[in-house]
Amino acid sequence: MATGNGFVRDPFPGNIIPAGRLDPNAVKLMGLFPAANQAGLINNFTANRLNRETIHTFDVRIDHDLSATDHVFARYSFGGTTRHKPGPFEGAADGGAYAQGDETGRTHGLALSHTKMFSASLINEARFGFSREYINRLQPLGDDTSNIPGEFGIQGIPQIKGNGGLPLIFMGDLRQFGAVDWLVAERLSNTLQLTDNLTKIYKSHSFKTGFMAQKIKLPWTGPPWSRGRFNYDGFFTSIPNRQDVSTGRAQFLLAPIASTVPGGVDFVGGANQVQASPFGEIGSQRSYFGAYVQDGWRANSKLTVNYGLRWDYFSLMGDDNWEQANFVPGPPGQAQYIIPARHQDIPLSQSFKDVLAKDGIKLVYTDEFGSGIGRAQKNNFAPRLDFAWQPYQKLVVRGGYGLFYGAFENRGGNPSLGYNYPFQYTLNYNRVNDVTPVRYPDGSIAVIGRGLASIPTDNTAAVSGPGLNLRGVTFDYKTPYVQTYNLTFQHELGAHHAVEVGYVGSRSSNVETFVGSNGVTKVVPPGQNANLLRTFPDFTGGFNFAAPVGSGTYNSLQTKFIRRMHKGLQFQINYTLAEARANYGDLLSGGGFGPGFRGYDLPGWGGLDHEWGLAYFHTKHALIFNGVWELPFKGALLGGWNVSWILMAYSGQPQTIGCTVATTSGLGCVALLVGDPYAGKHDVSQFYNPDAFKDPPAATVIGQTDFAPLGGERTQVTGPPFRQLDLTVAKQVKVRGAKLELRAEAFNLTNTPAFQLPSSTNFSNKAAFGLITATANNARQVQLGLKLYW
């Protein structure tokens, strides 16, 4: 209902959806859910599915001396794996994650080496390597082309091998069902590598120089949403501008109808977001070249110095078929969408060209910049220096500094420029507000039964421009690098013990992260259409954009106590106290970084300046205690036994708590920490205190310069710790010139669970917030083994 101040939404009588408003296709799909087998309204179903894994490996190595100064070796390795990991539900309901399904893997590795000794002081080693990895992961019923979606009234899902099963459907806080996106995943990786290292020893110097060349080809098939993804997140069934995800199932069941009042607002239903894509493959490839010089100089009996310089070149990710496009952001009139000129004959829709022109994005066809469509940095010179100084017999001081480049980060599939239009493009249809249903270009509403029938996934000329996601990678790409530095003191304590104390730190720069582009450029109150305030308003939502702009720091105190083998006992205790901070998250998982960047394109916000928090790999405390004890027993039966162990204890991972309601439109939000987050139960039923968090005030004026609605600092909390003890008891017995080893191993001997991160959404739902539902380690495993040496 429209009012003078916006919209209100009244519940159905008795909070029961009338039969006439139920979508029959949705009702039939809901019937796929199994009945609850646990008590409670949430987390009330547990599935114990059988996983199977078979692994075969073997290695062959041949060494041969061609002469007294020439040595060659060849090695071949093979690995074969099959895995069956079903989802939680039976049949088409599936509900599995990306790592589940039926997987087949094959790996091959070949290495050839030739070492030539020209003299006692001049040695060269040349190596050639080739590796090939093939992985195919298929969702349940993935090769079934009998039109399973059609059985539930879902239209337009292509019935081709690898695309079988239902679309992926999300309903708020209810478990997803259907076949997960990005499957089938068929990946092939071929890597060729050539290295050469030359060593020259001259007086107190050991000079080394060498190079490496590497070519990687990784074609793969992994369609994002070729079956479609449909989100029902409760926007259309909650109080407007106050999303309640628990109503997502009601939104799924609700059939939209036209307004009963002339000129009124239509009654909504259907999905609030639909994503779709063609079914195709990517032909990714890239290259690496590197060279170095270094010198190990023994200045005197107490001081050794190593110094050197390395050069690295990392190409951009290209495509064997040049089937990529790159969106280069900039102000209207300067932004570009670059497509290789060799694909100028692929028809583009007039809608797409019109929207580009309207939003000031120049369409450019060129092959000038290669298939990576950008420029990679070439001046990557990295100095290294380290030393070891022994001022007196029992003390050694070590220190060093090094700069290391590295740019082969795994982005995952979605950001690939090969998924840009007009190649393997993705289409995204989002709600514009909480009261207007999502409509396709042909005017139909995004109900589940419509499926992909109204979405042109096989006709580039019919694609609607505003529904596209324009992916991009920084055109002038700066190579990520990290500077590391350390200073360590090691002191002998008697004949059998030593202690080590040191500082280890690093600073990372130009780290690639997904900042996105086409974000909202002003603070907008919740519920208002923020798309008009994007840089390119005629395209929906933000774009995938990878940029090397992240930074991070790591500082640690690292200690070690060592007991060398003496009287049958040796052990080592390592303890680290550290802090890692960053303004980026892990590219693939986010790693607890939480909600996406809140306002990267927002003037005055400062880009990533307000996104600093604990890094996803931060571990404040880390303790490792390992050792071997030769049991002091004698005799054929009791003698010769030894016990080895490793105890690991780590503090928890960082986690970010987001806001429970939208405080702006189109920008992110991080909850304010106003109390002790670990007060209260602090157990698996509620690890965090929900009363410790508060939503910031909502924005009230378009363009306000007060950024309080975006919330506080990230990573307000850290999750459960990790503790595990592994123990091995072993004995070797001599048998006619051979050795037989008997081993009994226990992993997680004490059967101590290490828990995954708790639920971090909606702290206003106190029953579910902070709930832990999974473990990060396995239960106790005991295995017995025999090994024969001859």
Query: Which tens digits make up the pLDDT trace of 440-462?
Result: 989 999 999 999 999 999 899 99
Q: Collect the ranges in the chain with pLDDT lower than 70.
A: 1-8, 263-266, 589-595
Beta-sheet pairing, 168-171 with 229-232: parallel
Q: Which residue has the tokens 């009945």?
A: 35
Assess contact for 270 and 439: CB atoms under 8 A. Answer: no
| Whole-structure pTM value | 0.87
| pLDDT at residue 2 in the model | 45
Residue 175 has what pLDDT? 84
CA dihedral for 141, 145, 151, 155, sign (positive or negative): positive
| Bond preceding residue 422 cis, omega within 30 of 0 | yes
- Asked if residue 776 belongs to a domain, the reply is yes
| Burial category of 769 from C-beta neighbours within 10 Å (exposed 0-12, middle 13-18, buried 19 and up) | buried
Q: 742 in a domain, yes or no?
A: yes
Can you tell me the distance from the alpha carbon of 468 to that of 458, in angstroms, rounded to the nearest whole number? 14
Per the structure, the count of domains in the chain is: 1
Q: Is residue 695 left, alpha or beta, with left meaning phi > 0 and alpha meaning psi from -120 to 50?
A: beta
Query: Could you tell me if 87 and 99 are in contact, meaning their C-beta atoms sit under 8 angstroms apart?
Result: no
* Phi, psi dihedral angles at 787 (to 5 degrees): -135, 130
Instruction: List, in order, residues 6 or more apart from 549 with CB less than 8 Å away.
Output: 510, 511, 513, 515, 607, 608
CB neighbourhood size of 582 (10 A): 28
What's the rounded Cα separation, in Å, for the pair 266 and 488?
A: 70
Q: Among positive and negative, which fits the CA dihedral 454, 457, 459, 464?
A: positive
Task: Check if the beta carbon of residue 228 is closer than 8 Å to that of residue 314.
Answer: no
Task: Determine, yes or no, domain membership for 362.
Answer: no
Q: State the CB neighbour count (10 A cutoff) for residue 633.
A: 10
What residue numbers bound the domain in which 696 lies?
583-789
Residue 735 located in a structural domain = yes
Q: Which residue, among 593, 607, 646, 661, has the nearest Cα to 244 in the 3D structure?
A: 661
Q: What is the pLDDT of residue 8?
A: 61
Cα–Cα distance measured from residue 303 to residue 422, given in angstroms and rounded to the nearest whole number: 62
Mean pLDDT (the chain, rounded): 93
Exposed/middle/buried for residue 706 (C-beta within 10 Å: 0-12, 13-18, 19+): exposed
Q: Which residues contact 119 (CB under 8 A, 6 or more apart)?
A: none
Strands (E), 736-775: 738-747
- 151 SS3 class: helix
pLDDT at 593: 60
Residue 303: left if φ>0, alpha if ψ -120 to 50, beta else—which one?
Answer: beta
Distances (CA, A) of 30 to 237, 250, 253, 348: 18, 11, 9, 39
Other Cβ atoms less than 10 A from the Cβ of 701: the count is: 11
- Decide if 88 contacts 48 (C-beta within 8 A): no
Query: How far is the C-alpha of 716 from the C-alpha of 613, rounded, in Å?
Result: 8
- Which pair of tokens denotes residue 623? 């303790």
Would you report the helix, strand and coil content of the chain in percent, each value rounded to 5? 10, 45, 45
| 640 within domain boundaries | yes
**Paired tokens of 137:** 């992961």
Tell me how far apart the alpha carbons of residues 361 and 518 are, in angstroms, rounded to a whole number: 12
- Within the chain, how many helices (H) and strands (E) appear? 3, 38
Chain-centroid distance of CA 130 in Å reads 27
pLDDT at 420: 95
Strand runs labelled E in 120-246: 122-138, 168-171, 174-177, 185-202, 205-221, 229-232
Residues 635 and 604: their CA atoms lie apart, in Å, by 78
| Cα(543)–Cα(308) distance, integer angstroms | 41
In a domain? residue 668:
yes
CA–CA gap between residue 710 and residue 700 (Å, rounded): 13
Going by their DSSP bridges, the two strands 621-630 and 641-650 should be labelled as antiparallel
Residue 71 in domain: no
* E strands, 678-737, in order: 693-694, 717-718, 722-735
In a domain, 111, yes or no: no
- CA torsion angle for 57, 193, 340, 187 (degrees, to 10)? 0
CA distance 247 to 238: 7
Q: Which of 509, 598, 587 is nearest to 546 (CA)?
A: 587
Find all residues with CB under 8 Å of 588, minimum gap 6, and list them.
Answer: 410, 411, 412
- Do 26 and 177 contact (CB within 8 A), yes or no? no
Question: Which residues partner with 500 through β-bridges?
Answer: 490, 560
